Structure 1
Amino acid sequence: MAASKEQQAEADERRTALLRIRRERPKLPFHHPDILALGYTSDGAARKDFYRALESRRKKLAIEVTAYREEQNEILDALLETHLPSAIEGDIKASEHVLKILERQAKLNGWEEALKAELSGPGGGPVPIRGETLAELRNLIRTAGDPDEEDDDLPGDLEDDGDADDDGDNA
């Protein structure tokens, strides 16, 4: 059964008080009398309500951030509409404005994060590097895909170092 508006208001008030107490005294246990005095029947009920309150605050914050982003994007889009035609025609000052606007939009929307890449090892974890030889490290780069090399043979590669022990020393 859904809670009435009055019950919901009481729960919100109790959660706000609980959050305030936990913020002021973070090490205070949930079974403390000050917390139970808010109307909780047990420390488990207080703990559960505390995490519900945190989740509710997180969702509200996410909605506020989304609304802020939308508002800022509308402003930036309007500025782009104003300056872009002049920038395309060669106006240096307008071009600088457009560039700054585009940079701001990318930062606001997290588009720059999408451009970052990471090399990962087995199972998505870190690349295991132990005292490898230069040849072994170059082989690792080739395996991962060096953006500067197009499948070129690097000096000291394991396949062409001229010896069978794969230690990269050519001896």
Structure 2
Amino acid sequence: MAWSAAKIAEVDERRTALIKLRRKRVPYDDPRILALGYSNEDVARKDFYRAVTARRKATEAEVADYRAEQSQIISDLLDTYLPLALGSDEAGPDHKAGEMVLKLLERDARLNGWEAALKAELSGPGGGAVPIRAATISELHELIRTAGEPDQDEDLDTDTEDGDENDDGHSA
């Protein structure tokens, strides 16, 4: 059953008040929260999470719309500047247009988060820095011996024909 506009406005007003109180760290069982119309703290807690989820989804939709608009603008500008940058006419490549194209492509990558996917970080024990120290050749050889020499003739697939293997990678 669909809610009426009045019911939607009432729920939105109650959730807004609930969020304001929770931002002040007011506990769910506080009389001010219960006075908003919640029968108990569990109902208030569930409604709070519904409100936060709804607002997050609304924000995500707005961000997606913004990205789409900005991407269209960038695309339109690329349609103008890319041919100039590549020198599609007799004048040859336009270096200023080339700089503009690179800036537009960088902006598009940042806007859509494509660069973030290319970044990676190694972390050491407990999420801290990776401990690095100098090692001698004999220490490196010992590490390789402990880990096992890679077999140059085998595939990357370590399964044996019968599917049975030990920790050392050889059939039992």
TM-score by length of 2: 0.69
Deviation at 1:115, TM superposition (A): 1.1
Kindly, what percent of the aligned residue pairs are identical? Answer: 52
Q: CA RMSD in A?
A: 3.1
Segments of 5+ residues of structure 1 without an aligned counterpart are: 136-154, 166-171
Query: Which stretch of the first structure deviates more once superposed, 43-52 or 59-68?
Result: 43-52
Task: Say which SS state the counterpart of residue 111 (structure 1) adopts.
Answer: coil
CA contact 1:119–1:127 (8 Å) conserved in 2? no
Match of 1:139 in 2: none
| C-alpha distance 118-131 of structure 1, shift in aligned 2 (>3 A) | closer
Deviation at 1:19, TM superposition (A): 1.2
How many Å separate the matches in 1 of 2:81 and 2:106? 14
Task: Say which SS state the counterpart of residue 29 (structure 2) adopts.
Answer: coil
How many Å separate the matches in 1 of 2:62 and 2:15? 20
* Aligned pair partner of 2:107 in 104, 108, 124: 104
CA contact 1:36–1:43 (8 Å) conserved in 2? yes
* Aligned pair partner of 1:55 in 53, 56, 73: 53
How many Å separate the matches in 1 of 2:133 and 2:71? 49
* Aligned pair partner of 1:31 in 17, 29, 35: 29
Match of 1:152 in 2: none
How many Å separate the matches in 1 of 2:132 and 2:57? 47
Match of 1:79 in 2: 77
* Aligned pair partner of 2:140 in 153, 158, 168: 158
Deviation at 1:132, TM superposition (A): 6.5
| C-alpha distance 131-108 of structure 1, shift in aligned 2 (>3 A) | closer
User: Aligned partner of 2:26: which letter?
Assistant: L
CA contact 1:15–1:53 (8 Å) conserved in 2? yes
| C-alpha distance 21-128 of structure 1, shift in aligned 2 (>3 A) | closer
CA contact 2:81–2:97 (8 Å) conserved in 1? yes
CA contact 1:87–1:95 (8 Å) conserved in 2? yes
TM-score by length of 1: 0.69
CA contact 2:84–2:97 (8 Å) conserved in 1? yes
User: Aligned partner of 1:29: which letter?
Assistant: P
Larger relative contact order, structure 1 or 2 (CA cutoff 8 Å, min sep 6) = 1
Match of 1:70 in 2: 68
| C-alpha distance 83-156 of structure 1, shift in aligned 2 (>3 A) | farther
Segments of 5+ residues of structure 2 without an aligned counterpart are: 88-92, 147-172
Check if 1:43 corresponds to 2:41.
yes
